[in-house]
Structure 1
Amino acid sequence: MADKEVVLTLEGLKKIEDELEHLKTVKRKEVAERIKHALAFGDISENSEYDEAKNEQAQLEERIAKLEGILRTARVIDDEDINLETVSIGTKVKVKDLEFDEEIEYTIVGSAEADPYEGKISNESPVGEALIGRKKGEIVEVQVPDGVIKYEVLEITR
């Protein structure tokens, strides 16, 4: 099965590269030490420390493989390629929620670096998908589980 292309901003690429480096250089050594320490207890058939360390090692290797897969298929959006006429990946968009009369700012990113708590929403999320391609002044209707939200696009920046 071919890996799906992952779209990243430069900031997202750096964050993934940093995490991968940390996992490979620091976390792998820590887990290896835990396994070594647990083996010193002897019989591994009833050694919960060993089992726990091996599970942590498996999760670590799975995360490393996932990050390497993301980097292998990544397409990086360069700031210079971002057109501020329309909402796209890499843009910040300020919208006004027309029902509650409040302004919200989102950064549109690829799914690999989405973090709603930081205001980074995926281009594949309902809101992100609805905003992509829109221009300043447009009214956008977003279908969400609770119904429909109407946003007005106020500003598009980098």
Structure 2
Amino acid sequence: MTDTTTVTWLTQEAHDRLSAELQQLSTTGRTEIAQKIDAARQEGDLKENGGYHAAREEQAKQEARIRQLQQILRTAVVGEAPPDDGVVEPGMVVTASVAGERMTFLVGSREVAEGTGLDVYSDKSPLGAAIVGRSRGEKTSYTAPNGHEIAVEIHEAKPFQP
């Protein structure tokens, strides 16, 4: 059985996109950064070499993204969208009133919703945890980080379609 605390649900499209990004960053991306660092190093004094420091910073960001992608893909469960049964779970687009404001968002991973304009809430977030397993018409609440109780009413839950 999989430990659900570390699982990231991904569509096949999102998995393929992230795998391609990881491949590019791990190969040509690393080569390009190494070349930039080497070229900047050739310019002389590293203490006052802005190009060198910028390239090193870019390298650090790239390596962090590589580690992030590796973690996501290591814990990914690739599959079809959840069943269209109206029950909130990762992979569902939910319309709900949250603190009186109607909003539509994805419960799951931001990597899945990239480019869609949807807000994303993890199923581990206070809002996500409060609504997972609930259905249309159900009301619940969660405690916000500031200690306030936030009322939630679920209006609809549909599978995410990329």
**Given the two structures, how large is their TM-score scaled by the length of structure 2?**
0.75
Amino acid at match of 2:133: G
- The match for 2:102 is 103
Q: Is residue 130–residue 142 contact of structure 1 (8 Å, CA) maintained in 2?
A: yes
Tell me the secondary structure at the aligned position of residue 69 of structure 2.
Answer: helix
**Mapped pair 1:130 → 2:130:** yes
Q: Is residue 130–residue 141 contact of structure 1 (8 Å, CA) maintained in 2?
A: yes
- The match for 1:60 is 62
What's the CA shift for 1:138?
0.5
2: CA distance, partners of 1:17 / 1:130:
31
**Mapped pair 1:73 → 2:53:** no
2: CA distance, partners of 1:45 / 1:105:
50
Bigger Cα displacement from structure 2, 39-48 vs 117-126: 39-48
- Please list the CA deviations of residues 55-86 of structure 1 after superposition, one character each: whole Å capped at 9, or x if unmatched: 4323322321231132122222422x435241
Q: Is residue 35–residue 50 contact of structure 1 (8 Å, CA) maintained in 2?
A: yes
Q: Which blocks of at least 5 consecutive residues in structure 1 are unaligned?
A: none
- The match for 2:32 is 30
Q: Is residue 8–residue 112 contact of structure 1 (8 Å, CA) maintained in 2?
A: no
Q: 1:118 to 1:111 in 2, by over 3 A?
A: closer
Amino acid at match of 1:103: R
**Given the two structures, how large is their TM-score scaled by the length of structure 1?**
0.76
Q: 1:45 to 1:151 in 2, by over 3 A?
A: closer
What's the CA shift for 1:131?
0.7
Q: Which blocks of at least 5 consecutive residues in structure 2 are unaligned?
A: none
What's the CA shift for 1:112?
6.4
Tell me the secondary structure at the aligned position of residue 133 of structure 2.
Answer: coil
Q: Is residue 84–residue 91 contact of structure 1 (8 Å, CA) maintained in 2?
A: no
Q: Is residue 77–residue 90 contact of structure 1 (8 Å, CA) maintained in 2?
A: no
2: CA distance, partners of 1:25 / 1:149:
46
- The match for 2:119 is 119
What's the CA shift for 1:46?
5.4
- The match for 1:148 is 149
- The match for 1:49 is 51
Q: 1:7 to 1:45 in 2, by over 3 A?
A: same
Identity, in percent, stands at 31
Give RMSD over aligned pairs. 2.8
